[in-house]
Structures are given as C-alpha cells and as structure tokens.
Structure 1
Amino acid sequence: MSAVPRSESFNSAAAQYAANRPSYPPALLDAVEELTGSPLAGSRVADVGAGTGIATALLRERGADVVAVEPGGGMAARFRRTLPGVPLVRGDGNALPLADGSRDLITYAQSWHWTDTERSVPEALRVLRPGGALALWWNISALDVPWTAAQDERMARFCGAEPSPATRPDDSSAVRTSGLSGLRVARRQVRWSRTVPLETHLANVGSHSALLVLGRARSRAFLADERAVLREAFPDGSVEEAYLVDLLVATRP
C-alpha cells in the first residue's frame, strides 16, 4: 500500500486526469441555477478542490466570476496551464483562503468527500453571503448498465474494496453525513453519457485514486486485464460511459 494519501494521489496523474476524466452536462449547470434561484452569469463563485479545472471552465463559460481553490501542487500546475486567466489560490475546504461573505456560490465537483465536514461546513458558511449556496456534485457511473457494474465489481475485488453503491445516499442521509442539517437542501440527479475510445476509457479508470495508490505496476496489470475484457464487449473500440450526476444544493439562511 502506498504511503501517499488517496486525496493526494491525483497530483502524480494530473495530466492523465485532465485529458481523460469526464466533464459535466449542460443540464447540471441548469439545475444549479434552478436550485439556487440565481443565474451563474455574474455570480461570485469559488470552485473548491478545482483539480485541473474541469468544472471551473464550465462555470466560467456560463459567465460566473470564478476563483479556484486547489490544495495539490500537481493539479494546480495543470490548472494554471489549462486556465491561465482564472485566479487560483492554494488551499482546501477545511480552511478556505477567502474573505467572509465574499462568494455567492461555492462549488465542490467530485471533492466534498475529501473534506472534514466539521470544518468545511462552517468555512463555507463563513465565506458565503447571506442567501448564498453550496453546490456539491459527483459523476457516478451508472451501475444499472450491466458492463459498468461488472467492471466496478472487478475493480473493487482487485483493490480489496466493496463495490460502489448505485447512488449517493438519499436526501436525509446525505444531509446528516455532510453536516448540512441546519440548511435548506435540495437534490437533483442528471443522467448523461459520452462515447470515447477504449484507451480513453481505460485512462479514465486508471486516474481514479483507488488504482493510483496501488502503484503503477499493479494498476497497469488491472488495466491490461480490462483492455482484454472490453475489447470483446466493444469490438469497434468505442465505449459509451453512462453517468448519473448527483447534485446537492444547500442554501445559507
């Protein structure tokens, strides 16, 4: 087992992450605007755990005034190459390097679960203006697709973990585990898909922390086996990845 924490494992694979990870559908940002009751255009947004800037770029395209917050050196370096005109500050959700009441919206794309909610929730409330919102979302592989569920089970066995749940927890459970029980929370799920070459799919799988922490040799062994399985399932070399984006929006009083 690698000594590198899973939350820091992405730094060594930042380029792979940026090139192969899925983005998010326009309907997700539509849902953020609907649930917050505010347009993204002109909103002061902090994208926390911004990584290589996948979500930051989409927020900026919608006209948001975005500052990115990222703790990892490798991810931050890739972000600056990808989005050189977007402000980026080093930090994390447990101690946001942002002023009190300075943001209309704080977003966490694939990154909320890396925080300590006893610290990150008060920090979000401190930085949000009254009536501002915290938006958390995850791209979840659609496990009602048989080949996806089978791959998830193979990966879990290889990594010595339990297979993924089909969805994030229900609303009441999510509120409890996220520490948001004092806020008004709304939830929306958006289904979407993308079709990519087999090698892009494998590189996407290989950029997940569960494999990264195993080291290059072991992850390559798993991906070699997956390549053989998926070549039989997708003889034309194109893979349709189906996702369910799970969105939680918590509004500050």
Structure 2
Amino acid sequence: MTADSRAHSFNSAAAQYEASRPSYPPALLDFVEEFLSRPLAGARVADVGAGTGIATSLLCERGADVVAVEPGDAMTVEFRRVLPDVPVVRGDGNALPLADSSHDLITYAQSWQWTDTSRSVPEALRVLRPDGALAVWWNTTAFDVPWIRAQHERIAHHCGVPARSAVRPDDDEAVQLAGLSGLRVTRRQIRWQRRVPLDTHLANISSRSAILVLGQAANRAFLAEERRRLLEAFPAETVQEIYVVDLLVAAHP
C-alpha cells in the first residue's frame, strides 16, 4: 500500500472524519503566536492538507486571514460545507499554489507526513515572508495510559504494521525526522484530553488511513471486539481520550 493511496483514503470517510476527529488545545496556537511574536489576528495563514477544516476553524477563531490547501475531492466538499466562507484551493505541500513571500504562517495539522520534505520544505520557505513561520503538528498517542497503549498495539497488529515505540524521539531527532534540519526550530509537547461517546471514539480510530485502506469488511470484526473491550473499561459509554500534541515551529535560519 503506497503512501499516496493512504493519504487519499480519507476521501472515503470525509464526513466521518469531520464528525469524530479530535481538535487541538488552545495552548498550541498560543505557542505559535509566541514564536511569531504577534497575535494571529490579521495574519495571512495557509493551512495545508486542511482536510475538513478542523485546524482551519481554530485559526479563523483567532482572527487569521486563512486560505486552505487541500488535494482531496471529498475532503474539500466537507470543508466547504463546514467553512463556506473560507477559500480553499486544490493542491498539496509539494507544490503550493501560493505566491512567493505571501504568508506569515503555514500550518500542517496531521498532514506533514504526506509530503516529500525535500520539496515541501523549500516550498514553505518560498511562500513564507522573511519573518514568517512553518508549524507542523500531530495529536500523538499517550503511551503512558495503559488502555491507550494496549489499543494502539491491537490496531497495529490488525493493520499489519509495527507498533510505535513508547519512547518519544528527543528534540534533535524529532527535527531530523520531520525534515526540518537547518532551520530555526522550536518544539512543544502539549498534553490534553477530551470525553466523547464510545461510538465517536470508534469512528475516530476507524478514520485512520491504515484502517481505511483495509476496507469495511476487514474491519468489522475488529471494531466489534474493540467495542466489547471498551464497554468493559467504560461501561457508561463515554471514553476519555488523552493526547500529546507534538508541535514543531520552524523559521528561516
């Protein structure tokens, strides 16, 4: 299964993605503003790989002047339904459809891994103003929570992929893995949580690309067993999801 097919698998579940995926804590954009030394109000921002607009909504709430960049057909339709007043252009991070030195901030929420950083890093630097910044982040697994770690391992086994190490990379390794070496980079890890109905939690995990590419038939028994396990842990059918946002903010060296 290619990375490109996994990246485009979200189009098969765009409405599910919008309804179940988690947002991000206020502290994330607080730190981006701190890095920029200015509020986001009035800032020109490009949200790349915007999907259904989860991060775009938060940027708009801060008063940013946002344009979304999204390659997927169904995700774009859902984005326009949720955020009809925000412009969205078709494209991806490897060839941004944006002018040189035109933006104060470029954001990638859960989408940086789908780019070729040998192309997307120079593209970001081309589009950014000299004092602008690139922010990439992910909601990552809280491995110190036993039931979350156990579920992560079951999902990895079901998808036929190795479970991720519970040891997070240090700052230098994180920068290198993200392809941002040579830039001025600061990292923050922000722990947060949300409480959601059990069905929302199951929809969330089944909207991941590694599961989507397997198809509904292959996933039916797995999700039924996950429901059984979760009902034992959360008999009130409300799940407390815990995340660690891993944020890297980079600027011209």
Q: TM-score, normalised by structure 2?
A: 0.96
Residue of structure 2 equivalent to 1:206: 206
Quote how far apart the aligned CAs of 1:116 are.
Answer: 0.1
Q: Is the 8 A contact 1:191 1:242 kept in 2?
A: yes
Q: Which runs of structure 1 show a deviation greater than 4 angstroms over 4 or more consecutive aligned residues?
A: 1-4
Note if 1:89 corresponds to 2:86. Answer: no
Residue of structure 1 equivalent to 2:47: 47
Task: Write the distance in 1 (CA, Å) between the matches of 2:163 and 2:186.
Answer: 27
Task: Write the distance in 2 (CA, Å) between the matches of 1:101 and 1:78.
Answer: 29
Task: Write the distance in 2 (CA, Å) between the matches of 1:167 and 1:114.
Answer: 23
Deviations 1:54-101 (A, max 9, x none): 000000000000000000111011000110000100000000000000
Number of residues paired by the alignment? 253
Note if 1:220 corresponds to 2:224. Answer: no
Task: Write the distance in 1 (CA, Å) between the matches of 2:8 and 2:244.
Answer: 25
Quote how far apart the aligned CAs of 1:178 are.
Answer: 2.5
Residue of structure 2 equivalent to 1:146: 146
One-letter amino acid of the structure 1 residue matched with residue 213 of structure 2: V
Note if 1:235 corresponds to 2:245. Answer: no
Task: Write the distance in 1 (CA, Å) between the matches of 2:116 and 2:10.
Answer: 19
Bigger mean CA deviation after superposition, 198-207 or 172-181:
172-181
Task: Write the distance in 2 (CA, Å) between the matches of 1:247 and 1:84.
Answer: 28
Q: Is the 8 A contact 1:2 1:215 kept in 2?
A: no
Residue of structure 1 equivalent to 2:120: 120
How much is the aligned-residue C-alpha RMSD, in angstroms?
1.5
Task: Write the distance in 2 (CA, Å) between the matches of 1:154 and 1:108.
Answer: 28
Quote how far apart the aligned CAs of 1:2 are.
Answer: 9.4
Distance 1:231 1:55, change over 3 A: same
Residue of structure 1 equivalent to 2:22: 22
Q: Is the 8 A contact 1:140 1:167 kept in 2?
A: no
Percent of paired sites with the same residue? 71
Residue of structure 1 equivalent to 2:130: 130
Task: Write the distance in 2 (CA, Å) between the matches of 1:157 and 1:63.
Answer: 43
Q: Is the 8 A contact 2:4 2:114 kept in 1?
A: no
Q: Is the 8 A contact 1:36 1:249 kept in 2?
A: no
Task: Write the distance in 2 (CA, Å) between the matches of 1:79 and 1:144.
Answer: 34
Task: Write the distance in 2 (CA, Å) between the matches of 1:4 and 1:101.
Answer: 28
One-letter amino acid of the structure 1 residue matched with residue 226 of structure 2: E
Q: Is the 8 A contact 1:201 1:239 kept in 2?
A: yes
Gaps of 5+ in 1: none
One-letter amino acid of the structure 2 residue matched with residue 85 of structure 1: D
One-letter amino acid of the structure 2 residue matched with residue 157 of structure 1: H
Bigger mean CA deviation after superposition, 155-164 or 172-181:
172-181
Quote how far apart the aligned CAs of 1:165 are.
Answer: 3.2
Gaps of 5+ in 2: none
Note if 1:105 corresponds to 2:105. Answer: yes
